Amino acid sequence: WHLLVEKKMNKEDLKRAANITSNIVSRMSKDTYVNLDSLEKICLALDCTLNDIVEIVKDTE
């Protein structure tokens, strides 16, 4: 979300630029599973890499 702010975009702008659905944006907001195809679209739209938009957290269980 920080990257969107830096690029002066909102979630609707991201949906249009990346051609993704509201459901994908909702999943991202809830920190739930988003498929790699959608992440690729987002990276291309924001001109960034996966490292810029994804954080991998080790499961503590």
Domain that holds residue 23: 2-53
Which CATH number covers residue 39?
A: 1.10.260.40
Query: Which has more confidence, 57 or 61?
Result: 57
Please provide the size of the chain in residues. 61
pTM above 0.85, yes or no: no
Q: Is residue 59 part of a domain?
A: no
- pLDDT the model gives residue 46: 92
Q: What is the pLDDT of residues 7-32, one digit of tens each?
A: 899 999 999 999 999 999 999 989 88
* Total count of domains within the chain: 1
Q: Is residue 58 part of a domain?
A: no
Q: Is residue 34 part of a domain?
A: yes
Smallest CA-to-CA distance from 50 within 58, 24, 41 is with 41
Which of the 8 DSSP states describes residue 55?
A: -
- pLDDT the model gives residue 60: 82
Q: Give the separation between CA 21 and CA 60, rounded to whole angstroms.
A: 31
Q: Give the separation between CA 48 and CA 54, rounded to whole angstroms.
A: 11
- pLDDT the model gives residue 57: 82
What tokens appear for 37 in the block? Answer: 């195809």
